[in-house]
Chain A
Amino acid sequence: EIVMTQSPATLSVSPGERATLSCRASQSVSTNLAWYQRRPGQAPRLLIYDASTRASGIPARFSGSGSGTEFTLTISSLQSEDIAVYYCQPYNNWPPLPFGPGTTVDFK
């Protein structure tokens, strides 16, 4: 059973500064990892898939990296609309694999 962890649980960043979020899998998921954003009161939205490919319409300030068990989501310059909870989830499996517990990003 794959267990996902995310750190930190909460990340406070000043507007315009860089935010770096981590996601770790208990065993290798290759690059089969997605990141989702959930803004308050909204549905989750796909940000990144294949660990580093931005989904359609996602701003270039979002980038993903990593493979195997260690992954990173970077927001290069935090904007107000980026205040949200971010989840990672591995895929390419039946049944679906668990989401990570999430990282809350807010303004310092």
Chain B
Amino acid sequence: VQLMESGGGFVQPGKSLRLSCAGSGFAFSNYAMTWVRLAPGKGLEWVSAIRAGGDNTYYADSVKGRFTVSRDNSKNILYLQMNNVRVDDTAVYYCAKDWFGDYGDFYDSWGQGTLVTVSS
């Protein structure tokens, strides 16, 4: 199993950024996926999750209305569209794979993360 995030970088407050996570080595379309972030000096925070089929999505209150999670199961890619970003969105963003499939399980595989820095 491999998960590889991309798309991070430096962005100004109020702007947009799209993160991607490419999955390989497993049946991507069968697994729920989650974005988890680690902000400087803070702990792990799940940000957004999407069920295997893509029809059900979930968001932490801190990003609701600003972030959108989606997936392209034909390309084995998970996305996180980040709009109207704020300074406190600065973090390393990880994608993580559900262990068993689509049950809201623990995460058995994680990407290496992509750093998003929001600053003016």
Contacts and interface: CB of A to CB of B under 8 A. Distances in A.
Contacts of A89: 44, 106
A94 B46 CA distance: 12
A46 interface: yes
A43 interface: yes
Contact of B106 (A38, A91, A100): A91
Interface residues of B, number: 25
Interface of B: 34, 36, 38, 43-46, 49, 51, 56, 58-59, 94, 96, 99, 103-108, 110-113
17 contacts: A43-B111, A43-B112, A44-B36, A44-B44, A49-B99, A85-B43, A89-B44, A89-B106, A91-B105, A92-B105, A94-B49, A94-B58, A95-B46, A95-B49, A99-B44, A99-B46, A102-B43
